[in-house]
A and B are shown apart, each in its own frame.
Chain A
Amino acid sequence: MTHEHEHEHEHEHEHEHEHDPRAIRTEALERLLVDQGLITSAAIDTIIERYETDVGPLNGARVVAKAWTDPEYRARLLADGTTAIAELGIGGPQGEKMVVVENTPAVHNVIVCTLCSCYPWPVLGLPPAWYKDPAYRSRVVREPRKVLSEFGLTLDDNTEVRVWDSSAEIRYLVLPERPASTTGADERTLAELVTRDAMIGVARIDA
């Protein structure tokens, strides 16, 4: 194969999805499922729309902000994440069993799925590409401090790092530390500070 040909192939690969066998296979599967009455194309559209607009880290941010401002809610959240999150009307696939782990000056938590891509969809949406990347999945377990420092997060030597592997049915969410400078801020203002990466545990929230 000449270099020129290779280049042309890459170009096609990027821009002509219809010729991608994976696109054809996907369409064929959808047709077969629809033809058998197992799902409708409209139901697929609805799901996609939901994950593009409603299901995402803003849900998790609401949970975190409430936990920061309501000590009783925080206690319930840490005791039974699934139920406390459901109190805010948040739930769905990949959130059936939620465990919330709290960051403190002594303990820093970070989540991963070493085997595939398990992620708490209802509170964080779908995972970013790096979360599914083999490098993150293997390295964050082996050398968490180094990986976190690559994200710009340098931890105190005395801080214990706990890596939570989202295996089996459990999905984790990190409750980040509330920035000291936010004393008196209301829940809504606080929610705007909370980032996806902080709830995965690869960032801190500064304010």
Chain B
Amino acid sequence: MTSGPDTTLLPANGPTAPPRANGELVFDAPWQTRIFGATVALYEAGRFEWNDFQQRLIAAITDHEAVIEAETSDESSDYDYWGCWLDAFRGLADENGWAGATTLHDMEHQLEARPAGHDH
């Protein structure tokens, strides 16, 4: 190495950083955690091939990026990764007959119609 000791690594991630949590917060909202968990639970139950989901996720991300690029010069400002995941999952659920468009919209309307402050 020619530039002397490398002391510029991000301190938060450096080797002397305090005990790390195993991972980090990767979700910004409870629904993101939930759709992730539902996807993996369904996958582990053997209900779909991961590649089917992955191809949908790639397509959703590609579409989303095209929209963002058309709207703004900063390509990550409104980046909605978990929204893409949700779209991909919805497509998978539709294709497999788990949640057709009509069924899904009916359920969404039912949930939206709950009184405020509802208790599960």
Contacts and interface: CB of A to CB of B under 8 A. Distances in A.
Interface of A: 17, 20-33, 36, 38-40, 43-48, 51-58, 93-94, 115-118, 125-129, 132-135, 151-154, 156-157, 169, 179, 193, 195-197, 203-207
A23 B32 CA distance: 8
Contacts of B14: 195, 206
Interface residues of B, number: 63
B47 A38 contact: yes
A99 to B, nearest CB: 17
Contact of B104 (A29, A58, A115, A203): A29
B98 A32 contact: yes
A20 B31 contact: yes
Contact of A43 (B24, B41, B93): B41
Given A29-B90, A32-B104, A55-B23, A152 B8 contact: yes
A51 B6 contact: no
A185 to B, nearest CB: 12
Given A93-B44, A134-B75, A193-B15, A25 B38 contact: no
Contact of A116 (B54, B93, B112): B54
A95 to B, nearest CB: 11
Interface in B12-58: 13-15, 17, 20-24, 26, 29-31, 33-38, 40-45, 47, 50-51, 54, 57-58
A43 B45 contact: yes
Contacts of A32: 93, 98-99, 103-104, 107
Nearest to A136: B76
A26 B10 contact: no
Contact of A57 (B2, B5, B22, B37): B22
Given A32-B103, A52-B23, 12 more contacts: A17-B30, A25-B90, A26-B35, A26-B86, A27-B31, A45-B37, A51-B36, A152-B9, A152-B10, A153-B6, A154-B6, A195-B13
Given A28-B111, A32-B99, A93-B50, A23 B29 contact: yes
